[in-house]
Amino acid sequence: MNNIMIPLNEMPVGSLGKVKKLISNGSIRRRMLDLGLIIDTIVEVLRTSPSGDPTAYQIRGAVIAFRSEEASQIFVESILPE
Amino acid sequence: MNISTWIKALKDTSTIKINSSDDLIIALAGNPNTGKSTVFNSLTGLKQHTGNWPGKTVTTALGEYTHKDKTFSLVDLPGTYSLLSNSVEEEIARDFICFSQPVATVVVTDAICLERNLNLALQIMEITDKVVICVNLMDEAKRKKIQINLKELSEILGIPVVGTNARDGEGLNELKDAIYQVATGEMNINPFKLSYNALENTIAQVEPIINEILDGRINGRWVALRLLDSDESILNSLNSYMEADLWQNYKLRKVITETKELLNPNEIRDIIVSSIIQSAESIGSKVVTFENKEYNQLDRTLDNILTSKTFGIPIMLALLGVVFWLTIEGANYPSQLLFTGLFWVEERITDFFIWAGLPEWLHGILVLGAYRTLAWVVSVMLPPMAIFFPLFTLLEDLGYLPRVAFNLDNFFKKACAHGKQALTMCMALGCNAAGVIACRIIDSPRERLIAIITNNFTPCNGRFPTLIALTTIFISSSLDRFQSIINVLTILGTITLSVIITLIVSRILSKTILKGLPSSFTLELPPYRKPHVGRILIRSFLDRTFFVLTRAIIVAAPAGFLVWIMSNIIVGDMSLLHHSARLLQPLAHLIGLDGYILMAFILGFPANEIVIPIIIMSYLSEGAILELHSLRALRDLLIANGWTWLTALCTMLFSLNHFPCGTTLLTIKNETQSRKWTLISFLVPTITGFIICFITAQSVRIINHLASSNFL
């Protein structure tokens, strides 16, 4: 296990990450928290759109797509599948 | 339009008028896409359309129902995930629950992702004790082998919890009972309360002050939390609804400010949200059992195919192609049948006029004018619409449309627009007015305006039949075997072209009058749902048929009436119709049309469906052909009036790019609350149409000219 935080948009499809930090502020931050992206939430990278962006993530049972701009503001720690 | 007028617009539409003061007001809240509108419909018997994509209801709807001895007014609040993000919808929902003080608030939740839905439920329980949880879509959960212990959930939360399948009407009586008991105070409720460790101390100091100022009318603990969370909108709302200015109180201001100096706003926010989400998580883990850990495997597999890198976009085009193929093929026969039937009726009416000795002009106006146009609209427009709409509704209910937005978002991002614009364009395929209303799902005002202004580039249901008829006549009629395939490809090409034009114009708008960077983008891809095929097909078929028939009577018949009069009033040596067409001729010729076609588009302003019938009426009144019973006869009529394939192409292009119909413009006026943006929405597609048709017509003419001078 490594403890390096990387932005969510750099995580490969199929990988799992644990949310460690949100660097966004204001309304975007509120929106992300409302989606359940609090510390230690596990996010799975599901797939990238055929047009290259956005990417879909599994967050607390829901599938949510972020553009790379939004995903780059979410820092995660890479974890291994159970 | 700026943000504040937009908010005002949304708020105005949500002003609730309760019929009778004796009615008990019930609020219906819930996450988007939980079947909240279905619950609302089943309780009140009203019919709002619900599709499987988040954010359908943005304004509130109001309905009534009676249970036992009481009448309840049910208010359908906008679907929201939370009440903390300060979007317009959230403020509407929050203010209603907080200040209208409904006797009960029903929170509709989705059984498949209950934990996530509890987030909103817990927040609402902080404002009011009188909450009933409705766990909807229990059948979907059962199919996915997700077990929910409703009894335990009710015990933990301390409020009634009812499981429902609103689509089948299951559980609604129990829901009504629970609402009744909570509303009348029959049931003792003892709601679960969240705790916020690091903030509790401050809350304890502030809560009594707030309770004193507000006289206990609003939950003081909740208001204290909002103040800590720097939620200024709640202060404004308190000011406007209760005329209470909390900030005037020195002690309160001091305590709050001190806490905020200790913890920064992001930290406070994190404490609040984390506490809510962790509670939801822990409750969820107690009451929800996933018997099958791979419960969402089917959704994943479907997404792997439908949003695949290689096949995602081809499949999307193919699906659209199949829908159009079924529409075109399926419409053929009923169209012919309606033609024959309605013109048989016309002959009978004519017989009657002769028998009754009624004057010829009356026959002209009523039969040749009004009735014939109506017959045309019904026989040419009704079958394709009545087939396309139900098929499209099926895709919508399945949950496919958000995938379209997902597949295409990057193109919209490059146009500095919002991916959800793709959803609004999908809706526009049905009706542009519906498409414009759907633009409410886009949060950012700038991107929302772009979507509204460019919505008309997507051809609506009223324009397909025109496109299909012209394609059949001028492009594919010489090909017997591949006719329907060529038709489908032409329509697909037309739609692709309309998407490209939309993207280009969106980008131009973003670089000129609507400057700005793309705002934040989140898109939910909801679980696929098994649609109730039979019910949807029948329902949407009947709705469409009714819609087309009503429009035919309200719009097409009067238009036919008017055109007949115009073609029979002779001024000087020509009819009024001929005069107008001649006046328009020079301009029309420049863009590859003729005066009659351009006039038909102008007269067709109330509804796009009547453009072709007006063209036909105009030509017929010139006496080229007197009877018209089929598309073949139409072809002869058009060719006799000088149409070439270029005329047909330019007519199709102009049909795709011209001013929105009357209904759509009115909707735009309502949605933007601005004459300026309505005018711009009128001008942008019209100017685009003139430019595209001009370039097309002139290039073809130059090429033809060069070719003939070289080879002759």
Please give the pLDDT value at position B16: 46
Q: Across the interface, which of A27, A28, A52 has its CB nearest the CB of B410?
A: A52
Q: A75 - beta bridge partners?
A: A7, A21
* Whole-angstrom distance, CA of residue B677 vs CA of residue B514: 11
| Nearest one of B35, B174, B7, B24 to B532, comparing CA atoms | B35
Using a pLDDT cut of 70, give the percent of chain A over it. Answer: 96
Residue A47, chain B, CB below 8 Å: the answer is yes
Q: By mean pLDDT, which of A69-73, B292-296, B444-448, B453-457 is the weakest?
A: B292-296
pLDDT tops 80 at residue A1: no
How many angstroms separate the CA of residue A49 from the nearest CA in chain B? 5
Tell me the pLDDT tens digit for each residue of B541-570. 887 788 778 877 888 888 888 888 888 888
Quick one: pLDDT at residue B61?
74
pLDDT score of B412: 93
Give the position of tokens 């903390």. B84
Average pLDDT value for residue range A44-48 = 94
Interchain CB distance below 8 Å, A56 and B525: yes
For residue B420, pLDDT over 80 is answered with yes
Per-residue confidence band for B450, with pLDDT thresholds at 50, 70 and 90: very high
Among B402-416, B535-549, B642-656, B678-692, where is mean pLDDT lowest? Answer: B535-549
Say if the Cβ atoms of A60 and B116 lie within 8 Å.
Answer: yes
In the predicted structure, residue B361 carries a pLDDT above the cut 80: yes
Q: How far is the C-alpha of B500 from the C-alpha of B505, rounded, in Å?
A: 9
Contact assessment for residue B510 and residue B415, using Cβ atoms and an 8 Å cutoff: yes
Q: What is the pLDDT of residue B348?
A: 93
Whether residue B8 lies within 8 A of chain A, CB to CB, comes out as no
For residue B237 the two structure tokens come to 């709302």
pLDDT of B532 > 90? The answer is: no
pLDDT reported for residue B503: 96
Q: Is B289 in CB contact (< 8 Å) with chain A?
A: no
pLDDT of B624 strictly over 50? no
Quick one: what percent of chain B has pLDDT higher than 90?
Answer: 35
Q: Do B525 and A63 count as a contact with CB atoms less than 8 A apart?
A: yes
Which residues in A lie closer than 8 A to residue B302 (C-beta atoms)? none
Chain centroid, CA B364 distance in Å: 40
The pair of three-digit structure tokens given for residue B277, joined into one six-digit string? 């989400």
Q: How far is Cα B425 from Cα B439, in angstroms, rounded to an integer?
A: 9
Is the confidence at residue B577, as pLDDT, over 90? no
Residues 6+ apart with CB under 8 A from B483: B472, B476, B477
Closest CA to B225 of B215, B234, B216, B213: B234
Closest Cα to residue A49, out of B407, B301, B282? Answer: B407
Give the per-residue pLDDT at B75.
Answer: 87
pLDDT at B19 over 50: no
Nearest residue of A to residue B403, measured between CA atoms:
A49
By the CB < 8 Å criterion, does A34 face chain B?
yes
pLDDT, mean of residues B622-643:
71
Query: How far is CA B72 from each of CA B425, B558, B649, rounded to the nearest angstrom?
Result: 37, 42, 56
Give contacts of B303 with chain A, Cβ < 8 Å: 46-47, 56, 63
User: What's the pLDDT at B26?
Assistant: 92
pLDDT at B629: 62
pLDDT band at B540 (very low <50, low <70, confident <90, very high): confident
Q: Name the more confident of B475 and B93.
A: B93
Give me chain B's average pLDDT, please.
Answer: 85
Which of A56 and B629 is assigned the larger pLDDT? Answer: A56
Tell me the per-residue pLDDT of B589-602, one tens digit each, with 9 for 90 and over: 999 999 999 999 99
Flag whether pLDDT at B142 surpasses 70: yes
Average pLDDT over residues B99-111: 92
Strands B104-110 and B24-30: parallel
Cα distances (Å, whole numbers) of residue B488 to B55, B475, B545, B649: 31, 12, 23, 16
Q: Give residue A19's pLDDT.
A: 95
Domain boundaries, chain A: 5-79
Residue with the bigger pLDDT between B490 and B15: it is B490
pLDDT band at B625 (very low <50, low <70, confident <90, very high): very low
Confidence band, pLDDT 50/70/90 cuts, at residue B353: very high
Percent of chain A with pLDDT over 90: 67
Strands B522-524 and B288-290: unpaired
Spatial separation of the C-alpha atoms in residues B562 and A51, rounded to whole Å: 49
The predicted-structure confidence for B474-520, as pLDDT tens digits, reads as follows 876 666 667 778 888 888 899 999 999 999 999 999 999 988 777 77
Buried b (16+ CB within 10 A) or exposed e, B230-251: ebeebbebbeeebebebeebee
Q: Does B275 touch chain A (CB under 8 A)?
A: no
At B571 the pLDDT is 85
How distant is the Cα of B57 from the closest Cα of chain A, in angstroms? 19
- Between strands B24-30 and B70-76, the pairing is parallel
A46 contact residues in B (CB cutoff 8 A)? 300, 303
Tokens in use for B669?
């006026």
* A1 vs B502, more confident: B502
Q: What's the pLDDT at B499?
A: 95
Q: What's the rounded mean pLDDT across residues B76-84? A: 87
Q: For B119, which of A36, A41, A48 is closest by C-beta distance?
A: A36
Q: What is the pLDDT of residue B10?
A: 44
pLDDT value at residue B47: 60
pLDDT in tens, B392-411: 888 888 889 899 999 999 99
Mean pLDDT, rounded, for B123-150: 92
Distance CA(B581)–CA(B596), nearest Å, equals 5
Is the pLDDT score of B2 beyond 50?
A: no
B399 interfacial to chain A (CB closer than 8 Å): no
CATH number attached to the domain at A5-79? 2.30.30.90
Enumerate the residues of chain A whose CB falls inside 8 A of the CB of residue B407. Answer: 49-51
Q: What is the model's pLDDT at position B289?
A: 92
Angle between helix B445-454 and helix B421-430 axes, rounded to 10 deg? 30
Binning pLDDT at 50, 70 and 90, where does residue B22 land? Answer: low
Whether B59 shows a pLDDT value over 60: the answer reads no
B522 contact residues in A (CB cutoff 8 A): 31-32, 35, 64-66, 70
Which of B116, B266, B407 comes nearest A25 by C-beta? B266
Give the closest of A50, A66, A69 to B307, CB-based: A50
Looking up tokens 């000011």, which residue turns up? B239
Does residue A26 belong to the interface with chain B, where contact is any CB pair within 8 Å?
no
Name the residue in chain A with its Cα closest to that of B120. Answer: A34
